[in-house]
Amino acid sequence: MQLLAIDNFINNEHVPPIHDSYFDTFEPARGAPHAKIPNSSKDDVERAYEAAAAAFPGWSKTSRAERASILYRIADLIDARREEFAQAESKDQGKPVELARIVDIPRAASNFRFFAGKILHSLEEAGDLPGVGFSYTQRMPIGVAGLISPWNLPLYLLTWKIAPCIACGNTAVCKPSEFTSLTAYLLCSVLKEAGLPAGVVNMVFGTGMGAGQAIVEHPGIPLISFTGGTVTGSKISVTSAPLFKKLSLELGGKNANIVFADCDLNLAVSTSLKSSFSNQGEICLCGSRIFVERPLYESFLKGLIEGAKALKIGDPTKKDTNMGALVSKEHWDKVVGYIELGVQEGGKIEYGGRKPSSLEGDFKNGYFLEPTIISGLTPACRTMREEIFGPVVTIYAFDTEDEAVRLANDSEYGLSCSVWTENGRRARRVAGAIQAGTVWVNTWMARDLRMPFGGMKKSGVGREGGEHSLEFYSELKTICLAD
């Protein structure tokens, strides 16, 4: 089978990598190569930077209305090609097509629409200094931004960066994950068709150690937005510190899901199934540590197991498929290794832990894994403390509200948390005490693009969303006019 060949997108043109180096990327559901990706180098990043730097003066001076108009066109074109994008996202990442169709691709379009509107209705500050003068603030684009996106929600999280970046008047050098480059490649044609000037957005494909590191260490790129692992985020911080780069790091999570006995049990179970196993558990916001108040523990566990058994795993193209394949063989091995570790640490596999036996044809070679529920571990175990990033959850009983809060906060991460209770006062107390950037009460993954998003502790640095994105992708200066 002929593999799809992808090239870099620089100055609105597809160009091969300078050193003509490529590598294969695999289709997770079949475990076979399906595309060839540029193994871009520092030289390719430099070429992309030069295009972005040349485009910056003109793009930064365009009116907000003109920039918004282009962003709206980008959103419309993504919508028009939703099915093409959804099929590509599934084939590249392993997720069900239906999930990409109803979540990933519409949210990517929404990112452009939101920030198009946001820049048209953003206010600056002004104040009078009696007898002195009049002061006001003005937001200025920063320059060339380095945007590095992950493999779990490829198009959604890439556009979450590109949309506010160019809305604020910046240009960009982007590096999608080497595991999931296909929808980024398709996005390039959308950007060009929408009328985005050459050089405003450039796409360099390749590895983190190659193209990604070159972006981070480039002295002409003053801003880095990165979504990915905490270890990589730490390396980016070290590299960027001497260059005084502006950083937004959305990193790992080991999120708590706290279930009190007075909750709506059916809703808590059904939503917890989603927060545990959606996108094969490959979402940084998944609730992987489930803490259940003891009187409800057995009932909740029974419901969770029954729900996990009912999830359909397999062919991602089928509409009724709930779980697709993990993104790569290496990641599958890592997740299975954590399941084995959980057993070694004294845990009991209540359900799952294996490759499904029902797989047929080419799918037998895919990176599929059953939803896995592990009980019997102590909070000190590695399986309960380290990010697994797969369809694996641990479940643990607690007795008091204070204990639940302590268990949830006993983590080096602080990205999100879900709380399940019908007691309004308790909901406010617990939500206020949780050390996480986002706390959901009786829901999960409700995203308001106007609200700040980011993590505490090792889950990240900075906030994006709404005004916070405009703050990150611009520099704010004060101008004072004398009386």
CA dihedral 8, 200, 194, 109 (to 10 degrees): 80
The half-sphere exposure of 57 on its side-chain side, counting CA atoms within 13 A, is 2
231-237, long-range: CB within 8 Å, 24+ apart, which pairs? 232/208, 233/460, 233/461, 237/461
DSSP 464-482: BSTHHHHHHTEEEEEEEEE
Place of tokens 């730097």: 53
Which member of 89, 98, 250, 282 is catalytic?
Answer: 250
Catalytic site residue 250?
Answer: yes
Q: Is 409 left (phi over 0), alpha (psi -120 to 50) or beta?
A: alpha
Alpha carbon distance 118, 8 (integer Å):
30
Bridge partner residues of 80 (DSSP): none
Cα of 153 vs its chain's centroid, Å? 5
Length of the chain: 483
- Best CA proximity match to 408, nearest among 430, 441, 440: 430
Residue 238 identity (one-letter amino acid): V
What angle, rounded to 10 degrees, do the helices at 105-120 and 154-167 form?
10
Type and span of the H or E element at 457: strand 456-457
Closest CA to 45 of 169, 218, 191, 178: 218
- The helix/strand/coil state of 38 is strand
Which three-class secondary structure state does DSSP give residue 247? strand
Burial environment of residue 231 by CB neighbours within 10 A (0 to 12, 13 to 18, 19 or more): exposed
Positions marked catalytic = 250
